[in-house]
A = this chain, B = another copy of it.
Amino acid sequence: MIGVDWGSSSFRAYRIGPDGRVLDRREADCGIIDIGAADYPAALRQRIGDWLAVDSGPVLLSGMVGSRQGWREAPYAECPADLNDLADALCRVDIGAGRIGHIVPGLSCRDADGVPDVMRGEETQLFGLDMPAGDGMAVMPGTHSKHVRFQNGRVVSFATAMTGEVFALLSRHGLIAAMLPKDEAEFEETAFCDGLAASGRPGGLLHHLFGVRTRRLFDELAAMAARDFLSGLLIGHELRGTEWRGEVRIIAGQKLATRYLKACGWLGIPAALAPEDAAARGLYRLSRHLRG
């Protein structure tokens, strides 16, 4: 089978054998923000036309390619949801040459107050995890960080925190950005942990942010350490917002994995890194649940 993880700014394709082994992989900078609606089949063939010529198995696509701004909108499946629910909600698209592709839907849920939340792309990574038999949780850091609760193979609920986006905004614009050095430095672990500590003090995030400024003003925080202090402050606020239960899997690339492992350790949240290629494994597992 062929699986594609097609996001706003990235394209990752996997060719996967019948046993689930990844035979080949390909990455490209052709996110959906770069593509006009009509060009999806062409863009797909341009990247993996040679695979499609020799592999007649299912083609699954996940990520923002299934959003309103993507190839075709695949409506959110509602939580609680398992692999079968997701497979039932796959959305068919014509990928040319008489073949059909399947777009993976995102997931939606509502919290105790009825406030909706959504994910798109992360659900495929989640189902690539070996979920524990009973209760478990996962954290998927990023622009919009996801905290996920699962139970007996179902995604029960989740909550999104805008940590990455707020970090980017504060690093680029305004008072704090003006104090940060332009170049990214080595990871300053002490400053990061000071930020984690600051996130637990009274006053709330809007107050704590001003502390980045005043610490610099009084030379109590080095310029090179300010970015990691801010990172620790925001990640601390994010993680303290959720009631963690049991073992937590962290699904992240190298850089964020280091920070979130450190932060979970510091906050006393038992956490471990998830194996890599969760997206490829999720796409493969979904292909085994295809109906008809």
Q: Tell me the A residues contacting B by CB distance below 8 Å.
A: 111, 113, 115-118, 144-145, 159-163, 165-166, 168-170, 172-175, 198, 201-207, 209-211, 214-215, 217-218, 220, 234, 237-238, 240-243
Contacts and interface: CB of A to CB of B under 8 A. Distances in A.
5 contacts: A115-B214, A117-B210, A162-B210, A203-B241, A206-B238
A115 B234 contact: no
Contacts of A198: 115
Contact of A201 (B113, B205, B210, B240): B113
Nearest to A209: B162
Contacts of A113: 201
Contacts of A160: 207, 210, 214
Closest 10 CB pairs of A and B: A204-B241, A161-B206, A160-B210, A116-B214, A203-B241, A161-B207, A162-B209, A116-B218, A205-B205, A169-B169
Given A169-B169, A207-B160, A118 B214 contact: yes
Nearest to A211: B115
Given A205-B206, A207-B241, 9 more contacts: A115-B211, A116-B217, A162-B206, A162-B207, A163-B206, A169-B170, A203-B241, A204-B238, A206-B234
A159 B214 contact: no
Interface centre among A174, A204, A243 (most CB of B within 10 A): A204
Contact of A117 (B115, B159, B214, B237): B214
Contacts of A172: 173
Contacts of A163: 206
A240 B202 CA distance: 10
A40 B288 CA distance: 75
Interface centre among A144, A165, A206, A215 (most CB of B within 10 A): A206
